[in-house]
Amino acid sequence: MENIQKWERSKVATDLIYKAIAELRSELALLDSTIEQVEALAEDPPRRVRPRKLELNRPVRAHSNGAGKHI
């Protein structure tokens, strides 16, 4: 009887270990994918587009739709 209980506990422990290994492999795959993306961005960074500067002292002309336009 005692051997059966030990075997059952051993089987439960083994199942938990395999489950943990599977979860770690999944996390490792996600990290690997993230590292590849970061490396790709480091090799070819995205281009920055600067917003147009608005000159605040220029007069504003009203449009028919109510929006203003710098002139």
Q: What is the pLDDT of residue 12?
A: 95
b/e map 1-34, b = 16+ CB within 10 Å: eeeeeeeeeeeeeeeeeeeeeeeeeeeeeeeeee
Quote the Cα angle for 13-11-4, to 5°: 125
Domain coverage including residue 56: 2-70
For the whole prediction, is pTM greater than 0.75?
A: no
Question: Using one digit for the tens of pLDDT, what is the confidence trace for 33-71?
Answer: 999 999 988 888 777 777 766 666 666 666 666 555 555
Torsion of CA 34, 35, 41, 42, to 10 degrees: 160
Question: Using one digit for the tens of pLDDT, what is the confidence trace for 10-30?
Answer: 999 999 999 999 999 999 999
Cα separation, 69 vs 64, in Å, equals 11
Instruction: State the total domains in the chain.
Output: 1
